[in-house]
Amino acid sequence: MSKHLGPRIIASVVILLFMSAPLSASAAAGICRGREAPITAVVASSKHQVVITLGPCVVPALGPMNTGRMSDMEMMVHSPGREDVRAHFRWPADVWMRSFDLKLYDSRHRQLSQPATMHHMELLDFDRRQILYPMVERVFGMGEETSGENLPKSVGLPLDAGMDMGLYVMWNNHSNRALDGVTFQLTIGYSPRNLAPRPTVVLPFKADVNVHPGAGDAFDLPPGGGSHSTTFTMQVSGRLLAVGGHLHDFGKELRLEDALSGKVLARVSAQRTAEGMVTGVSHRLYAIAGRGPHLVAGHQYSLIAVYQGSPADSIRGAMGVMGGIFAPDHYASWPRLDRTNPDYLVDLNPALGQSAMSGMGSRLSAHP
């Protein structure tokens, strides 16, 4: 997805920009772990925004990184479902979601560095499933390298009042001192549901080269790099309007290909330092007018993550996720959420993936 588009357009699909009153330095702060984190979602109708506030929180100190970013990354990604915060709330309004941004503040309302505070976050909709997988919809996600985005008024992601939503956050405080009184503030811009003309309906697109519900999606590669891929079958026809992605250090690119012809339909590249450290991933806008790659229901596609340039050691804890915005040809044909599906249940409670559910052999294959 393109970083700029008049209004800038989405990368892993949707969050904030809203300034609250400064927090008192003496405001009570909790650890903000698990499901106990304080969270609110408030409509600022005059600004056409929904402001989601988490905290104030104590963000524990992880200590300095061990022998480089990858060793710490390996520790985090090999702990499935290990987000520090997994808070639920009810979505407060019928809207077309159009923008997102994120800001983190300390107890004196000074803005904190995103990479030095948060590794990643996801906004989830527990009342709608993903297009490829029978799991909870990831409305959008942000990594430490991701910035906010905007959609033009011609498109909108539908969110209904009362939807069961979740905010998942993994902290990233690699210092020797806990951060006390941190507030996580996510502002989502919207258009009213009665907007005329009605915008084109868009929904999140997420494809992962290594999906295993409840067991994480990290993978390892040999020294020097290599690739990891998966093949999936589309259940709904529609167009990719924009794409972005998530790669870890030494990542080079993500490619979406037609599995039969090998034609490249979408490609995003890592922005890297000379040492191979990933500082961002490019976004690609195809067309809001509907001229992006048309994916066909029942057809197979491949996603390939390429890593290159590592030193003598193996690449540990790699990931390859392509996210984007997808305009279905017929919104009514979106697959329904099956709340009895084993992979949905593992996604709902990752602990099941290593206990009772593991005995059922529930592992999502490359073909949903």
Going along the chain from its start, the domains and CATH numbers come out as 39-192 (2.60.120), 201-360 (2.60.120)
CA separation for the pair 215, 345 (Å, rounded): 13
* Predicted pLDDT at 172: 85
Nearest to 136 by CA among 280, 306, 338: 338
Give the Cα-Cα-Cα angle 223, 229, 233 (nearest 5 degrees).
Answer: 175
**Which residues make Cβ contacts (< 8 Å) with residue 256, sequence separation at least 6?**
207, 240, 243, 264, 265, 266, 267, 293, 301, 302, 303, 322
β 200-201/155-159 pair status:
parallel
* Predicted pLDDT at 364: 28
CB 13 within 8 A of CB 140: yes
312: which 2 tokens?
């003598």
Q: Where are the alpha helices (DSSP H) in the chain?
A: 69-77, 342-348
CA separation for the pair 279, 263 (Å, rounded): 28
The conformation of residue 99, written as its DSSP 8-state character, comes to: E
Residue 97 CB neighbours (<10 A): 24
CB 164 within 8 A of CB 23: no
CA separation for the pair 353, 80 (Å, rounded): 9
pTM, rounded to two decimals:
0.77
Alpha carbon 90 to chain centroid, angstroms: 19
* Predicted pLDDT at 69: 44
Residue by residue, pLDDT tens for the chain (368 residues) are 333 333 333 333 332 222 222 222 233 456 676 666 789 999 999 999 999 999 898 888 887 765 444 444 444 444 444 568 888 999 999 999 999 999 999 989 999 888 788 888 889 999 999 999 999 999 988 776 566 677 778 889 999 999 999 999 888 888 888 888 899 999 999 999 998 889 999 999 999 999 887 777 888 999 989 999 999 999 999 999 989 888 999 999 999 999 999 999 999 999 999 989 888 888 887 765 557 899 999 999 999 999 998 877 788 889 999 988 999 999 999 999 999 998 888 887 765 544 433 333 332 222 22
* Predicted pLDDT at 348: 79
Burial class of 234 by CB neighbour count within 10 A (0 to 12, 13 to 18, 19+):
middle
Instruction: Fill in the amino acid letter for 54.
Output: L
Residues in the chain: 368
